[in-house]
Structure 1
Amino acid sequence: MPEGEVLVHMCSRAEWAAAERDGVRVPDGFAADGFVHLSTPWQVHLPANRLYSGRRDLVLLHLDPALLEAEVRWEPGVPSDPESMKFPHLYGPIPAAAVVTVAGYLPGADGMFAPLA
């Protein structure tokens, strides 16, 4: 990953408020998966459309990889993703201090999310 590039994590505004309060974000599926799902800005629309189509309460947490306290592994997504595409998975919780920007992530009129570019 190029130096200075951010990773993103998608969650609801309420989940981010809880993470700010607690100082850490531990998603509900963390115990089962063993990692936190992350994306790059140009691939975040794929899981957004698969999991959250039409939702209007989402935010993207832009993360500084240098501030993450656990290992990030680049691993395949789901079978419907492009075959060569790998997603970043964080093998630990997200420290709130690693979040450099929080931005709303709204779908288009058709309920679908677009890549960030």
Structure 2
Amino acid sequence: MATIFHLALPGDWAAALQAGCYRWSTRGKSLDDGATFIHASRHDQVAMVANFVYADVEGALNLLVIDTERLVSALCDEDLDGIGISFPHIYGPLNLDAVVDVRDYERGPDGRWPEVSPQAVS
């Protein structure tokens, strides 16, 4: 199973469970607001994204573990910012059955969001 990850605010994930699909691109931006894709990460990119996008968030995030083979929407690996790092992007809503696990993602003792090892999510 190939997996990618998405960081979600707990309230956004709870709303998705009620709605039947997840539509948040990233913090504060949804497909309903004109975003064209949902940002995702590989395990070695999660901490970088969390420490950049969610640096000021108090409390835990939800780490969505996504089975890429179950995705209904298109998945593309892209470096849209031209920074030399490509990220997985989901072009359309995230179907809930593609989310095979939801984990609490909490800051480490140093106050930073921690790295996610491949063993921790397998």
Report whether the alignment pairs 1:12 with 2:14.
no
Contact 1:49 1:113 in 2 (8 A): yes
Q: Which has the higher strand share?
A: 2
Give, in whole Å, the separation in 1 of the partners of 2:85 and 2:34.
Answer: 23
Runs of 4+ with deviation above 6 angstroms: none
- Does 2:36 match 1:34? yes
Scaled by the length of structure 1, the TM-score of the pair is 0.85
Are the counterparts in 2 of residues 75 and 87 from structure 1 also a CA contact under 8 Å? yes
Match of 2:69 in 1: 66
| Structure-2 separation of matches of 1:32 and 1:44 | 24
State the one-letter code of the partner of 2:20.
G
Identity percentage of aligned residues? 31
TM-score using structure 2 length: 0.81
Q: Kindly indicate whether residue 43 of structure 2 is the aligned counterpart of residue 46 of structure 1.
A: no
* C-alpha distance in 1 between matches for 2:60 and 2:81: 24
1:107–1:114 Cα contact (<8 Å) kept = yes
Partner SS, residue 89 of structure 1:
strand
Larger RCO (alpha carbons 8 Å, 6+ apart): 1
Query: Could you list the per-position Cα deviations for residues 47-71 of structure 1 after superposition, in whole angstroms to 9, with x for gaps in the alignment?
Result: 1100112532311110111111111
